[in-house]
Structure 1
Amino acid sequence: MNSIRCDIYDPKEYDIWFAAAPYGAASKPAKTLKTWAAEEQADVVYNLCLFNMTGSGSDQYGVIRGRTLQYLKAKNVDCGYGGTAEHLTVSPGNVVAGVKVAVRDGVVLSGLDKGTFRSRNMIGVLAGGRIIVVQSSDGCTEEQVARYAAGRYTIKLLLVQDAGGSTGMYRTSDGYLFAPEKEGTDGRPVCSVVCMRKKNKEEKPMGKKKVFIGVGHGGSDPGAVGYLVEKDVNLTMATACRDFLTAYGVDVRMSRTKDENDTVSQEVTECNAYAPDLAIDVHNNSGGGDGFEVFHTIHGGTGKTLAQNIEKHVKAMGQNSRGVKTRQGTSGDYYAFIRETVAPAVICEGVFVDTKADAAQADTLAEQQAFGVAYAKGVLDTLGLAYDEPEEKPDDAFETDEEVQAAITKVQRTAGLAAETMQYLLAYEYGTELVIKLANAMK
């Protein structure tokens, strides 16, 4: 299943550093993500594919254009590409630059790959100084991932770090592994990682909120089936909801993170054991209807407020709403997820999977993730937590300096250079000026 995850870290709350294999190692100096986490004593590690992919022999690993990456946290080494100005400083002395800049000051840049669908890995910094790591499974292009991130967060700078199978992350707390093209149980061996470790673990942050997300159906129970399969869409929506909530400091637990059997009674038991502030159950509908609907307890209260807040954001997406509803049963609320959970709870029904026009509102990865983000915003509104609302930008909101674009086109065509080569040229500190001079010198 395709997915895009955005993880955000505040340097005030996390130690953030890079670690890499030593330069000139006799053999491929790669370790699994789990091994990196254990050796670095990190809570989370992300592969960033910082090695020189154009080298040969041992020079392929642990080096960027001749600059050693041997444990940068201790070396204070600037590992930027040849002096490029596009630096991302995540802590003093730890600087990394990417071959491509995906987003600068909220604008998605031109030159991103629009046609190759595979794993993607980007790292950047938000306007407020927090670090963002964006990763996708193998069904996205560079441009799709960049637009997804820029559409949800106010990004100062986002750099493309990896476009292949070594994309991945590992979380030590629960052994969660995100590795779209993993080799072995602990993820594909990689040569360099960025590490995250929570500061002051003994001190629980004041006011930390918790949310439980039930993911309807799964395993041998597909749920509703029509133009979409409900269990799969539910998981995509729920995952996007989780990722948005965690980006804003909310602790989240999902009833399932993969396709496995997941009954309502199991969801309720897990939810109550977790003791969240709020709970939502993600579903999609059937029966030939049209539109979104959300159920809350017959007793109103916070559950009703949560339902109303979620509906507001779903309607803002352009989806029709059938309303905020309740359903009476013989012993109170009809639905067990609402009746038996201790926390205020709602059930979201996104679209009717057996109605062609309505299923079309959620038949792409981006649309399904948008539902999850809408649910998350409703949750954050209910919890009283703020979140970024990036300015709306047209689809063609790329950099449009006509002189630069004309120079790039002329140099690329006249010299027969590949797009990747042009990106290397432009990555240098004075790359733009160089390309313009080259264009002026060409007949």
Structure 2
Amino acid sequence: MSIRCDIYDRKLYDIWFAAAPYAAKSKPAKTLRQWAADEGADIVYNLALFNMAGQGSDRYGVIKGRTLQYLKAKGRECGYGGTAERLTLDASNIVSGWKLAIKDGKVNSALGKSDRRSRNMCGLLTDGRYIHVQTSASHTELEVAQYVRDHYDVKLLLAQDAGGSTGMYRVSDGYLFAPEKEGTNGRPVCSVVCIRRKVNAETPKEEKTMSKKVFIGVGHGGSDTGAVGCIVEKEANLVMALACRDYLVAHGVEVRMSRTKDEEDPVNEEVRECNAYNPDLAIDVHNNSGGGDGFEVFHTLNGGVGKTLAQNIEKQVIKIGQNSRGCKTRRGQRGDYYAFVRDTKCPAVICEGVFVDTKADAAQADTKAKQQAFGVAYAKGILDTLGIKYDTAVVKPAEPIKQQDAEVQAAIEKIQTKAGLEEKTIEYLLRYQYGEELVKKLAQAMEK
């Protein structure tokens, strides 16, 4: 979908509405660029306040729609006639002509399902940030709302008007987003949302102390085994991802994983979790099939930081002895073929470690230690991209648990399967004086 979602932290930005009476000669509609200049805004979006059915008037002239009457009934200055409306954006700001799209994460089932136009929506995320959604192609109201719901944790989203006036203008570089441009400044509109960075805005304390954030998607899981050959993909993916996480955390990076045990993990849920987490970078850990050989990594068609991330990871994978098939892109009908690089809002890549159905290539990752080495290589590529230095002596891939005997190893596997315990937890258990006996007793208890 050709949908852009812009998000602003209201602690850092002033956000207000401004409008002019519809068809009033003394206060005519203005282009987005003119609105930005008159309001002193950094960015403006068409607000599309007007419901074109019905009539209304005020001292400045006749307008269509019931916007003025609604706002005045609420005892609020709407800004018509040159006084900017500085309202706090919340559910009480639903005005005539706006329709509820999402409330508390639930999509309004009454949204349009057939009329396809450019769309314009705005609202709030659950963390209080402002979101403005616009489409440059033809979509139904329901399609846009579902897209936003799947990618963000939404508290409130309001569907506004639709059509050629949908657009935004950014002052810093003169960028104009408008499906139907009328001149270089866009179509004249009667109402806008204004965004401006607060002067000397102090960065919130939590942002000052916040480290870099990385999201790790773990391919497949649960009933979806992924590729199966000399190794099982979903299992190798998890070992690689956990090692990647541990190395990043050891270097002060915050990490969230789509799963930390064997469970269902569909890609659309991965994307939703990733966007809700709002990380700096994201990777999706996979392994390949199809009789090939070597590592490959996919990034977005747009290149940028995603391409840099792919190249940095590739360099590290080559260092551990795996050959590379290259950094790649794949085009689909909606742009990037893969949802993880197409729909995530941060730079993201998909890593394909080895071909599980090629014996020689699978041998590059046929033990936990080797799989962990891939995870550390991914982490180093991420750190290189984030500009974080690392010492190879700080964290080494954990050695596989020493197999004292078949009974102990069987007990370990049972505990991991039943309880979802990670490798590091098992290591801690085995360090106790009677660790092996404890592991066997735990396994026996789980059989009951």
Q: TM-score normalised to the size of structure 2?
A: 0.48
Greater length-normalized contact order (CA 8 Å, ≥ 6 residues apart): 1
Higher Cα radius of gyration: 2
Q: TM-score normalised to the size of structure 1?
A: 0.48
